[in-house]
Structures are given as C-alpha cells and as structure tokens.
A and B are shown apart, each in its own frame.
Chain A
Amino acid sequence: MFTIIKEKLHALGCEIFELTERTTTAWEFYFIRHKLDQNRASCVKTFEVKVYIPLDDGKALGSASGSINPTASDSEMDSALKNLIYQASLVKNPAYTLTDKALPAIAQTRVDVDAIAETFITAMQAVHETETERINSYEIFVREIHERFENSNGVTYEITYPSSMIEVVVNASHDNHEIELYRNFRSGVCNGEKLTRDVEEAMRFGKDRLVAGATPALEKSDVIFSTEDAVEIYDYFVYRMSAGLQFRKLSDWTKGKEIAEYTTGDRVSLFAAASLENSSASYPVDSEGAWIRERYLIRSGKSEDTWGTRQMSEYLGSKDSSQVYNFIVSGGSASSEELHEGNYLELVEFSDFQVDPVGGDILGEIRLGYWHHDGKTDVITGGSVSGTMQEAIPSMRFTRETEQYNTRVIPKETRLYNLTITGIR
C-alpha cells in the first residue's frame, strides 16, 4: 500500500510529500490487586500522508495531512488523496523545504513484547506489600512500534522501537482510613528492579500521607522538588527553546540571549539528546526524516539553539535543526545537603503539578509534603503551591546529582525560592 500511495500521488501530480507507515503491536494486561482483570492485544497499521503544493510562484507552500486507512478501497484512496491536495491549496504558509539529507542505515531493534510483558508482571509480583501498604491495581502497556518513512526528496528510514507504560495505584491504610497514590511510569522496555523499587517508594509516601497534618498558612516558602513532578519545571525550559514558540513570538529566549537576570541561582544547561538508555523515544531520526543533531539548547543560562519542526526551524533560519524527543539538564552546583539548608517545604505528591509553558505559571494542589523548619519535620497535606518561572529562575538551585525519568534527565533535587503556599490551617 505504501508504494500504491506514492504512485497515486505521482499520478495526481503531487510532487512534494511525506509518507509514514506505522504498525503498532500492543499487548496490555489489567490487574486488580494481582488478579488479571482483562488481557488485550492490538495490531494497528496506519498510513500518514502529508502533501505539499507550491503556491504564489514558490513564495508560499500549502500543505495538508491525513490518514489513509489500510482497508481503504481504491476509490476511497483516490478521493482521500485528491481531497488532501485540494485542502493543501487552501493553506498558504511562507515557503520552506523538506528534509533532503540522506540518512545512514539504522540498526533495527528487536522488540520482544512477550518477554517485556512477563518482566512487568513478575516485577509487580515482587513488590513487598504489608497489611497496611499494598497494591490496588495496575495496567501494563507494551508496544512494539515499526515506522517506515519516505519523502519526495528520497529521504527514507525504518525504525523499530519499544514503548512501554505501567500505571500503578497503591493504597495505604490505617484503621478505617485509606488513601491511594497514583504512578505512571513510561520507558522503553521494563526495568524490573527499578519498577519494584519505585512502587515500594510510593508505598512509603502513602504511609506518610496517612499521618499528614494540614499544610500551615505559610504564605511564602522555599520549595524543594525531588520527584518526577520536577520534570514540569524543566520542560518549561524545553518549550521556551522550541522553534514553534519562538517563531510565534511566545518565547523570547532567542539565540545568544541570557534567559534570565541571574542572581544567586544555578544556571541551567539543556542538552538535546538523540537517545537515552531505555527511553521510550530512543531513536536517531525525527518524524520528518531529519537526523537528530545532539547539541546544547541552553548552556550556562544562555540560549544557544532551538529545536522543532522543519517548517518552524527554517523560518528561524535553521536548516539543520530537528525535532528532539530526549533532553538532558546538567546538574547544578549544590550537594543534596547544601540544598536542604534552612527552612523549606519538600513537596513529593500533587494532584496535578503544572507549569504553563507559555505563561510560566506554577500551580499544584499539595497531596504530600514535608515542612522542615527549626530542626523539625512535619508531614503535611492539602492547600496549594503557586508562583511563576520568571520569578523563580534567577535564584533556583539544583543538585549536582541527576535522575532519569524516561525521556528526561534532570537534577535529582531542585529548590525554588519564595513560592506562594496556600495553607489550610
């Protein structure tokens, strides 16, 4: 069908296109406690087509994209492709080019969905549960994804990669009071030992939440982020460096610019990586056929390069950019001990911690935290934290030690100063 679509595009006079065939084999297992609730499998094939039409004597480029179903009849296919070509003629963007650099052959990864699924199940069975801390339920998702890409410049690639996810809910109870903690771990394949360790850590947090008191009305406090929620903080830097946001003038972190008026804080360095060990997006090409060039996007607080689609990157004057799926934030200057000096809140569980990538607002309801003050530690819950990244960046500090969360490597602990805390007592 891949070849048929190309032939039809050619017959319809469409000379500029991108075509991606994606086959996803997915295995899923749903458990309540450790009993199998349901098992599922799927095999789904899609053909994504993007057609381009030169307009206004080549000064503009029209484009439209869509899916062709593998069960589409010949006439359905013709109709869908003609429709895309018509739609492309309606959408005038300033001209840009498609990737034209030939790619080296990419070694194909063998993905064993059976083995990955088995590792997930045995890792969950190995979690140490007690009378009061136990697993409520978990859902295992294992995927083998195969992609074949070709554009009209003759750029082609084929990749196969694993993408896994497990959603785990744990309970902690005391007398008649029970709470739950939710975790969503993503990775390439299953690292069984790490999974067991991470679930047991969640259970420890659950135990603490049971005895937590109300968050005091601190109004302002330094906050240490030491869990995966901190990825939200560093993704603010990632998005600010995207060509899409910069071209749309929603980020002014243009190349060569200091990203903040630094005072006492650690300067962020952000690196675009082609791969990370066991990341669910560890492959060297992007979805438009561009080789992912590893480089610093921000170095010591100074903007160096953007990342993004071919269209947005070219508008910013960069033809050798690419989309990026893995990012590394370098460690800072502080040891963990140094970061923990003085009074501070350590927040480890939120309802949904968010940092707005455009506005920079920091917001989250506190489900579990530790209020370290005057040599004491109170376990707290409730209320919320808020602030802005613009105010936080100049003074933020982070540890030398780093931690990987799927497609992100970030400092293990991050301290933001003087955030607003809404307490409930």
Chain B
Amino acid sequence: MKAPFSPYLNRIAPCIKQLVASLSEEYDYVSILSTDSVGFTVQMSQRSKSVTNSTMTTERGNVVRVCRDGLYSEYAFNEIDPDHPETTIQEIRRTLGRQMDILRKTSSPVYLTGILPDEPLELFVEKETERLPETDKLEQLVAFLQSLSDRGMETIPHALDCNARGMSTHISKMFISKNRFLRQSYVYTEGTLAAFAPNEAGEMKTAYKGVSGLGGPEILDRLEDVLAQMPKLMEELLGSEKIVPGEYEIITDPGITGLIAHEAFGHGVEMDMFVKERALGAQYIGQRVGSDLVTMHEGARCEESVTAYAFDDEGTLAGDVTEIDCGILRTGICDALSALRLGSQPTGNGKRENFAHKAYTRMTNTIFDSGTASFQEMLASVKHGYLLSGTESGMEDPKHWGIQCIISRGYEIKDGKLTGKVVSPVIMTGYVPDLLGNITMASTDRVVEGNGGCGKGYKEWVKVADGGPYLKTKARLG
C-alpha cells in the first residue's frame, strides 16, 4: 500500500501558500516547510514496559525561511489559525524585528548570501509500505516484543534482562515556496534487542543488535532472527578479554565499514563545514584520499533505508553523489544555502532535527561500494589481527582527519583463521587517509544499517544509514 500523505498538511496547504505569498511582498525569498509525522515506540523487558506515540522524528509544525538584503532568517511555530494567517505574519515580523534590534545594538555584520534559486517544481510522493504505525495492531506487537524478551531470558546466558524495542514513524512533509509545491510521505521502522549480563568479574556486558529499513512495523519481524544470534553474542562478550594496544590488520564487518564511512568521509565532506573552513576535505578535492578500492556514495536515493526521502528539508530533490571514486575525492554533500555560498549545487542533504531546528548539511545513506574478494579470502590473508563488529559510537575530526570509533568486539585472527578469542570493547583511532589508504580488500556483498541517530557535534540528531562490504585495512586498536 501507499503511505498516505497527511490530511492535516493538505488542509493547511492553502493557508501556508497564502503565508508565502504575503511574506514574499516584503522578503526576497520565502519558503515554508510543514511537517506532520506520527509513530510509536514500544519497549518490553522483564522489568519495565512502555508505549509512547512518539519517536525521534514525530512532530507537527512549520518553519518559515525568509531572506532580505542578503540575510537569511527563520521562524518556527506549531500554532496557526488557517482562517487568520495574518496573525502569524505579524508575530514573525515582530520577533525577527526584535532580533534585528539586538544585532544593530551589537553592531553585528551580516554574512551576505545571494537569493536561493526557486525553479518551478511540483512533486507528490507516497512510498510503499505494508503497514502503518498509526493503524497497526499494537496488541500483537506488544505480545511479540514481550515474547522476544521472555525467550531471550531463557536462551541468553546469565541475562539479567532482555529489552526488546520497536519504533515506527510515518513521515509527512510539505515544502512550499513561490514556485515549489512538494509533498512526500513514507514510513521507516527500526527495532533492537539488548541483553545485559555480568561477567565473572562482575562487569556488566551489553549484547545489542538491531534491524531497520524503509517500511512499516513489518520490519520488526526480523527481530526473530536477531534473537537467534543473541546467545552466542553474549557468550562472546562474557568471555572477552582486553586487547593488547597496538596497530593491527583488521577486517571490518559491514556495520563497522559504515561507521568508518560515516565518521571518516561522511562528516568530513559536509560542505557547510567548507563554508566555515572547518574541513580539510575542501583542499583535497581531486586528490587521492584512499586506495583504488575506495569508492563511496552518499545520498537519500542510494538505498531504500530509514532516510530514503524524496526531497530534503530545504526543498531540494534527493541525490546520489559519488564522493570518492577509486580513491580520489570528487565532491562533498551540500545543503542549499552552503551551495549558494560555495558556488556549487545542492545535493539534497539539507536536514533538520525537526521543524524547530536549523537546516545543516547532513548525511543520508553513506556507503562504501563492494569489491571482488570473498570474506574467506580476506580472512585467509590476515597474519595477526581482528575482525571488528558491533558499533558503539564514533566521532569525527574533519579539520585534522582524525577518527575515533568505539566498537563492541574484536575477533582475533591468526594465520588466516579466527582463534575464538574475543576482545571487548575496542577503541579504534587513526588518521583517515592512512585508514582508507591501507584498504587492500573489499568483499562482494554489502549491508546498509540505520539504527539510532547522528549528531552534528553534540546536537542536531537526525536519522542516517551507512554501510558497505567487509573491508581489510590496518588500524590502531586500544
């Protein structure tokens, strides 16, 4: 079935168009993004259970972007009287006027920017889903998640608790400017299992795995397969040791490959950072940043994942950008305002945490291309190293090309074979061009995952997905 576009947004569309028309009389550029996204989060464990009708991306509201004399300003609101849009216009004038008073008092100069292009475009997209979060039978889902938790307690060694969680969101967004009328509706879903158990030393270990994708709550059925993997995963963590710090040959599983893609050349080529001269990548366009095996794509059109939208939060159509081609950095990703400032084209990567937040250049799907090696060939080629698996967190340093990845576990490889020894947790650090330059093998398969969220610095959380094949390289582990 098609995910139906929000009736509420259809209802307010004439009023929003009128707001755009009225504000256009006094501003050089006006656009409004309106959102109406609904969903649920269900969480079942042995010790507590909860249901909410909110997720990371549920929202309803509007944000007006205006430009006058080279200065872009925004006003976000979630109360509007469709019969009296002039009340909202007065509030926008009054508030932005007060802000201008402060800027005058502090003699703050303006970073002058041109007027955003506004070519005529109409779009109406409703993506396919089997089920909708707002009409789903939660009774069945609650029972399913509770059953996963119960069976987890029976099968996962020494588990103190097993937490099963499902989240599904139906996104509806509408972008209106003088010449554009874009509407889209799609559903994405994610779920996780997390079990907790103490090792012999009393240290608590967390086994964690998730599923995600474009589509409705039917995606959560895949948690059944995750449950089957949890006992072995916990056994490995409970028997894990601390790693001896050093530089090793490593094979990254698709999840860690995605983490590297995201931290290394995801954040590093967000071009709003180029505007601020915060990214080394700007100086390396056209230069080698990885081995011949490194080709990396980024864009909402790359994969039907949790972030596979049709247009971004600035009304730019979704893209598919080849960032790195056979080791050569070709381009970055760009929001509309940064593109205007840099004289380049927007790539459909202008995203907001929600309607009340600013749009920044943000990632969507960040993916390494597959290679030609089999996993067994890659394993056989390692003298002494680790197979890394399980993303915990990552942090970028685009100015210095450092990278920090915190990884759940490393499986020791000696003389081309897994020894059965597991180390946990592992912190992988290094210099991005070295890490990518040392990639010597990539597997033929590819997996893209989209659990959790991504922040810019320590804020502005948005949905992203990343992945790729198994990669072989060298890295410093601690």
Contacts and interface: CB of A to CB of B under 8 A. Distances in A.
Interface of A: 24, 26-32, 34-46, 63-67, 69-71, 76, 80, 83-84, 86-88, 90-93, 114, 117-118, 121-122, 125, 136-137, 165, 167, 169, 171, 178-180, 182, 184, 217, 219, 244, 247-250, 252, 311-312, 351-352, 354, 356, 358-361, 363-365, 367, 382-386, 388, 390, 420-424
Given A26-B356, A136-B276, A64 B458 contact: no
B395 interface: yes
A36 B457 CA distance: 20
10 contacts: A30-B358, A35-B111, A41-B95, A43-B76, A65-B51, A118-B105, A137-B278, A358-B206, A383-B429, A384-B245
A42 B142 contact: no
A367 B138 contact: no
Interface in B18-50: 40, 45, 47-50
Contacts of A36: 71, 103, 108-111
Contacts of A252: 202
Interface in B60-106: 60-61, 63, 71-80, 91, 95-96, 98-103, 105-106
B276 A169 contact: yes
A27 to B, nearest CB: 7
B399 interface: yes
B298 to A, nearest CB: 22
Given A36-B108, A92-B49, A422-B427, A41 B476 contact: no
B60 to A, nearest CB: 5
Given A37-B72, A43-B95, 15 more contacts: A32-B111, A38-B73, A39-B74, A70-B78, A76-B8, A88-B51, A91-B49, A182-B457, A248-B160, A250-B161, A250-B196, A351-B397, A382-B429, A390-B202, A422-B476
A26 B50 CA distance: 30
- B interface: dominant SS: mixed
Interface string B316-353: 00000000000000000000010000000000000000
B425 A363 contact: yes
A91 B106 contact: no
Contact of B429 (A66, A365, A388): A365
Contacts of B393: 352, 354
A167 B111 CA distance: 18
Nearest to A361: B425
A44 B356 contact: yes
Residue among A90, A93, A121, A137 having the largest count of chain B Cβ atoms under 10 Å? A90
Interface string B279-322: 00000000000000000000000000000000000000000000
Interface string B137-149: 0110010000000
Given A249-B161, A250-B196, A383-B478, A42 B71 contact: no
Contacts of B102: 114, 117-118, 121
A92 B51 CA distance: 11
A121 B202 CA distance: 50
Given A36-B103, A42-B76, A43-B91, A67 B397 contact: no
A390 B201 contact: yes
A66 B161 CA distance: 26
A163 to B, nearest CB: 13
B204 A358 contact: yes
Nearest to A424: B476
A331 B265 CA distance: 43
A247 B160 CA distance: 11
Given A118-B102, A367-B402, A70 B79 contact: yes
Contact of A71 (B78, B100, B106, B161): B78
A125 B108 CA distance: 9
Contacts of B476: 383-384, 422, 424
Interface in B203-245: 203-206, 242, 245
B246 interface: yes
Contacts of A84: 53
A65 B277 CA distance: 44
Contacts of B103: 29, 36, 39, 121
Given A87-B138, A136-B277, A66 B73 contact: no
Interface in B408-459: 425, 427, 429, 457-459
Contacts of B74: 38-41
B400 interface: yes
A27 B49 CA distance: 37
B477 interface: yes
A384 B52 CA distance: 39
Contact of B47 (A65, A247, A386, A423): A247
A245 B202 CA distance: 15
Interface residues of B, number: 81
B402 A365 contact: yes
Contacts of A363: 406, 425, 427
Contact of B58 (A24, A67, A312, A383): A67
Given A34-B108, A35-B111, A248-B161, A69 B60 contact: yes
A359 to B, nearest CB: 5
B50 A63 contact: yes
Given A182-B457, A219-B245, A69 B78 contact: yes
Contacts of B45: 248
Nearest to A167: B457
A250 B160 CA distance: 8
Contacts of B76: 26, 40-44
A117 B104 CA distance: 13
A28 B358 contact: yes
B125 to A, nearest CB: 23
Contacts of A178: 399
A2 B315 CA distance: 35
Nearest to B60: A69
Contact of A351 (B61, B79, B206, B404): B404
Contacts of A248: 45, 47-48, 160-161, 196
B50 to A, nearest CB: 6
B203 A388 contact: yes
* 10 cross-chain pairs, A with B, having the tightest CB-CB distances, nearest first: A422-B478, A66-B53, A42-B76, A422-B245, A352-B395, A365-B404, A351-B404, A35-B111, A351-B395, A384-B478
Given A121-B102, A360-B203, A422-B478, A87 B53 contact: yes
B110 A90 contact: no
Contacts of A28: 358
Contacts of A182: 457
Contact of A39 (B71, B396, B400, B459): B71
A31 to B, nearest CB: 8
Max count, chain A CB within 10 A of own CB: residue among B60, B102, B103, B275:
B102
